[in-house]
Chains A and B, each alone.
Chain A
Amino acid sequence: MSSEKKLAVPHDLFPWKPAKEAGKAPQEKLIVGHAPHWHDGSTISAKNYNIMIAALPAVLFGISQYGAPALGVIAFATACAMIWELIMNLVMRKPTTIGDGSAAVTGLLLGMLMPASAPWWVIALGTALAIIVGKQIFGGIGFNPLNPPLLALAMLVMSFKGIFDFDEALRHYDLGFAMTYPLADLKFFGTSAIGKFSTGALLMGKQAGAVGSTFGLGLIAGGIYLMLRGHIRWEISLSFLAGVFITAWLFNVLGDPGEYAGPLFHLFTGYTLIAAFFLLPEDSSSPVNFIPMLLFGVLAGLMTVLIRNIGAYVDGIPFSILLMNLANPLLDKIRPKAIGKVVENA
């Protein structure tokens, strides 16, 4: 009798319970899942919203300096990036991912890298490049080999020189301090032309530049917040700043001091700080092991100053970091031996 029952339902949920009892007693429906049953509660959206919060001081300062056009650039870039992401989700028939904040961060950062006078079509094009070429064609979040906002910036800088020539772009603004782009002054006129920028003034954002990248103090505050909360890897940010500092200092000491500016000038001008805290530690395009992170940061800093001092471009940021992004998979092969790993005899 009982063996017949078993043959009928060999793997019944409760094979050892008599059938009538199993049918009668309604069971609590339990949820099963694999261990671990605890999670530390972190989410991608929380991480991205924190990055946006950390960027706010610099963004608000930019808006207070350049007014409505700056607000327009930031808002339009963020919105555009999210719309491109949504369009790509629909086209590629993937789940909608704009809620995770990743596209918004990409748009926000790209907006922060643009001058307040950037025309709307450059923003629309730039965010499309960042989201579609930089991220979605590789498979979306987590798969981008290059930093999306920087890839877009590099393409835009090469395509539309005039728009990213800050002296030209911001010529109608008079904010009460020297409205020349410090790095351009350095490139074309040497250190004699940058005496007007005191380190304190640079740190307080008294310099011409992109909407969200001039307020050094705000960027540093945001960066410290992100590092302490563990949303970015401090190793990358700090080693990058060290790389910039050391390389600039070596140029300054060993080279012609009339041609090469001091390390602090390089730290607080151009895209250095926003790159250190918001662009370089982007997860997907940077290494995760300790030594690779340090190498990645230092080499990116070295490349940045090399391009600024002896390269063709005024600011080396997009290119130096994109180059290091390409080296990332190789760098990340430097890793500790797993405990217990058996090394085949070489």
Chain B
Amino acid sequence: MIKRSFLGLAKPRLQYNLVPDSVQELPVPEKVVLMLEEPQNGGSGNGPKVGDSVKTGQRLSASPDGGEYVISSITGTVSDVAPYMGTFGKKCTAITIDAGGQDDWDDTFSKEPTLDTALKFFEYAPGNPSFKAFADPEKSIRTIVISGMDQDLLVTTNQSVVQNEAADIKNGVDALKKMTGVDRIVITVPENLVQQANATGADVKAVSATYPSGLPHMIMKDVLGEVVSAEDSVEDAGTVFMSAEAVASLGAAFETGQLRVTKIVTVVGKDGKTTNVKTRIGTPLKDVLQACNASLNDRDRLILGGPMTGVAAYSEELAVEPGTDGIVVQSESDSAQVTDYPCINCGECVRICPVKIPVNMLVRFLEGRFYEDARAMYDLDCCIECGLCSYVCVSRIPIFQYIKVGKYELGLIETAEAENE
């Protein structure tokens, strides 16, 4: 954990890890757990059953034409299907598949580069791309940004993809152009990877190595020169972000005819040692940690993602998901502890906020649960969720958590209003 420097006059600068480790491939796990999101419009019940045998690369969905699906990452038998609730009440079905011998590839994937193919096969690709915005008639997507810079600190997944798989990214860029019809494809990389990125055929832009410049909103502002207004998403502003890993797996799939089912994960041990591993999607975290010799003890924190925005997992039985770029193990003494002290108005958060939110006022409203006032008067919606305010808070208020809860509660209110209309 990077501490405040002795001289605190200048605001702290958190630098990204710019040295990707070489990628070490892990053996096929004995079982995988895949999280199938609950379909928005029902239709569950037709999903995979216990005892079904599945092939590698097979699409598993609750209904034949359902929008939500997972791609099996091993060949074997479904051994359990159970409900699971993720963060902020996200409902999923956990599908456990026990491995059974050699990979037997499913052959339903066709190399036809259309949007339908993308929606049908790549929504569960490593790097977790989303093609829904292209199919949405209300959005007109003009730009695709490939993030060759990782979003969170310590993690080097996408940088290692740019470094090692530029050819796959190039194929992916070509496929993306055909599938989406979008001509403007930009790849953002740190300064030291510009040369490798030049080979991808995308428009190369360098981003600063200081957090949070890898976050989509910051890239929109700093690289594309477009400010996303608080009411809109990045997609509303005509841009779709995809990780370099997602584009590379797209390219690899069109090259080989096989969907990619492995995920590159940066594993950070308690001693700060980083290792990049390539493992099947759905591998239990326990297996990954064991393979990296990363110890995990009672009262440690196990973080999926990076230290600034990652989600703390409650069990090492959880699995690597397509969006899991990093796994960080943190001992209790290194973890950020929060308190219920009030804001003392020191202003550290206001000065570090990359989008100039008056966090000192915002947190007062959020603590009092005045979410609508927080949005109307103190720019709740402008927040780009970088977590720097909590990082510097002297009172150690969980500001970032308050912000997420505020946004979540407002979302519930909006959903309820929409239903009542």
Chain A residues with CB under 8 Å of chain B are 2, 6, 10-11, 13-18, 27-44, 47, 100, 139-143, 227-231, 233-234, 283-284, 286-289, 332, 335-342
Known: A30-B315, A230-B7, A283-B344. A340 touches B227 (CB 8 A): yes
Question: In terms of DSSP, what is the predominant structure of the interface of chain B?
Answer: loop
Report whether A15 and B394 are in contact in the complex, using a CB–CB cutoff of 8 Å. no
Known: A18-B80, A39-B390, A40-B3. A33 touches B346 (CB 8 A): no
- B358 / chain A contacts, CB cutoff of 8 Å: 288-289, 332, 335, 338
Report whether B299 and A44 are in contact in the complex, using a CB–CB cutoff of 8 Å. no
Report whether B400 and A35 are in contact in the complex, using a CB–CB cutoff of 8 Å. yes
Known: A36-B390, A37-B336. A143 touches B342 (CB 8 A): yes
Known: A42-B392, A283-B344. 15 other contacts (CB 8 A): A10-B83, A27-B316, A31-B332, A34-B400, A36-B309, A36-B400, A38-B2, A38-B336, A40-B4, A40-B392, A44-B344, A230-B8, A288-B345, A339-B356, A341-B379
Smallest CB–CB gap between A165 and chain B, Å? 35
Identify the closest chain B residue to A36 (Cβ).
B387
Q: Complex formed: what's the CA distance from A318 to B263 in Å? A: 64
Question: In terms of DSSP, what is the predominant structure of the interface of chain A?
Answer: loop
Chain B residues with CB under 8 Å of chain A are 1-4, 6-9, 12, 33, 50, 80-85, 94-96, 153, 217, 221, 227-231, 296-303, 305, 307-317, 328, 330, 332, 335-338, 341-348, 350-351, 354-358, 360, 379, 381-382, 387-388, 390-396, 398, 400-401, 404
Report whether B344 and A284 are in contact in the complex, using a CB–CB cutoff of 8 Å. yes
Report whether B315 and A27 are in contact in the complex, using a CB–CB cutoff of 8 Å. yes
Report whether A339 and B341 are in contact in the complex, using a CB–CB cutoff of 8 Å. no
Smallest CB–CB gap between B323 and chain A, Å? 14
* Nearest 5 CB-CB pairings of A with B: A230-B8, A288-B347, A15-B82, A39-B336, A36-B387
Known: A38-B2, A283-B346. A16 touches B82 (CB 8 A): yes
- A42 / chain B contacts, CB cutoff of 8 Å: 4, 8, 348, 392-394
Smallest CB–CB gap between A166 and chain B, Å? 33
Report whether B391 and A38 are in contact in the complex, using a CB–CB cutoff of 8 Å. yes
Report whether B7 and A30 are in contact in the complex, using a CB–CB cutoff of 8 Å. no
Q: Could you show 11 A-B contacts with beta carbons less than 8 Å apart? A: A17-B317, A34-B338, A38-B336, A39-B337, A42-B348, A47-B394, A142-B342, A229-B6, A283-B346, A286-B345, A338-B230
Report whether B394 and A44 are in contact in the complex, using a CB–CB cutoff of 8 Å. yes
Report whether A31 and B299 are in contact in the complex, using a CB–CB cutoff of 8 Å. yes
- A230 / chain B contacts, CB cutoff of 8 Å: 4, 7-9
- B356 / chain A contacts, CB cutoff of 8 Å: 335-339
Report whether B312 and A37 are in contact in the complex, using a CB–CB cutoff of 8 Å. yes
- A336 / chain B contacts, CB cutoff of 8 Å: 356
Residue among A231, A234, A335 with max Cβ neighbours from chain B (10 Å): A335
Q: Complex formed: what's the CA distance from A27 to B317 in Å? A: 9
Report whether A36 and B307 are in contact in the complex, using a CB–CB cutoff of 8 Å. yes
Known: A39-B391, A41-B3, A44-B395. A29 touches B312 (CB 8 A): no
Residue among A11, A17, A43, A288 with max Cβ neighbours from chain B (10 Å): A288
- A289 / chain B contacts, CB cutoff of 8 Å: 347, 350, 358
Q: Complex formed: what's the CA distance from A139 to B345 in Å? A: 14
- B387 / chain A contacts, CB cutoff of 8 Å: 35-36
Q: Complex formed: what's the CA distance from A341 to B382 in Å? A: 6
Q: Complex formed: what's the CA distance from A264 to B308 in Å? A: 48
Q: Complex formed: what's the CA distance from A32 to B87 in Å? A: 12
Report whether B299 and A29 are in contact in the complex, using a CB–CB cutoff of 8 Å. yes
Report whether A31 and B404 are in contact in the complex, using a CB–CB cutoff of 8 Å. no
Report whether A13 and B396 are in contact in the complex, using a CB–CB cutoff of 8 Å. no
Report whether A28 and B310 are in contact in the complex, using a CB–CB cutoff of 8 Å. no
- B328 / chain A contacts, CB cutoff of 8 Å: 37
Q: Complex formed: what's the CA distance from A337 to B308 in Å? A: 25
Known: A6-B82, A15-B84, A28-B298. A36 touches B336 (CB 8 A): yes
Report whether A38 and B307 are in contact in the complex, using a CB–CB cutoff of 8 Å. yes
- A28 / chain B contacts, CB cutoff of 8 Å: 296-298, 300, 316
Report whether B344 and A16 are in contact in the complex, using a CB–CB cutoff of 8 Å. no
- A27 / chain B contacts, CB cutoff of 8 Å: 315-317
Q: Complex formed: what's the CA distance from A183 to B144 in Å? A: 68
- B84 / chain A contacts, CB cutoff of 8 Å: 11, 15-16
Q: Complex formed: what's the CA distance from A233 to B341 in Å? A: 21
Smallest CB–CB gap between A145 and chain B, Å? 10
- A288 / chain B contacts, CB cutoff of 8 Å: 345-347, 350-351, 358, 360
Q: Complex formed: what's the CA distance from A233 to B8 in Å? A: 10
Report whether A338 and B382 are in contact in the complex, using a CB–CB cutoff of 8 Å. yes
Smallest CB–CB gap between B402 and chain A, Å? 9
Report whether A340 and B345 are in contact in the complex, using a CB–CB cutoff of 8 Å. no
Smallest CB–CB gap between A18 and chain B, Å? 7
Report whether A141 and B342 are in contact in the complex, using a CB–CB cutoff of 8 Å. yes
Identify the closest chain A residue to B387 (Cβ).
A36
Smallest CB–CB gap between B314 and chain A, Å? 5
- A31 / chain B contacts, CB cutoff of 8 Å: 299-301, 312, 332, 335
Report whether A38 and B342 are in contact in the complex, using a CB–CB cutoff of 8 Å. no
Report whether A37 and B7 are in contact in the complex, using a CB–CB cutoff of 8 Å. no
Known: A16-B84, A34-B400, A336-B356. A228 touches B7 (CB 8 A): yes
Q: Complex formed: what's the CA distance from A235 to B297 in Å? A: 46
Identify the closest chain A residue to B82 (Cβ).
A15
Q: Complex formed: what's the CA distance from A43 to B310 in Å? A: 23
Identify the closest chain B residue to A29 (Cβ).
B298
Report whether A43 and B379 are in contact in the complex, using a CB–CB cutoff of 8 Å. no
Smallest CB–CB gap between B269 and chain A, Å? 14
Known: A28-B297, A36-B387. A142 touches B308 (CB 8 A): no
Q: Complex formed: what's the CA distance from A283 to B12 in Å? A: 20
- B309 / chain A contacts, CB cutoff of 8 Å: 35-36
Q: Complex formed: what's the CA distance from A339 to B231 in Å? A: 12
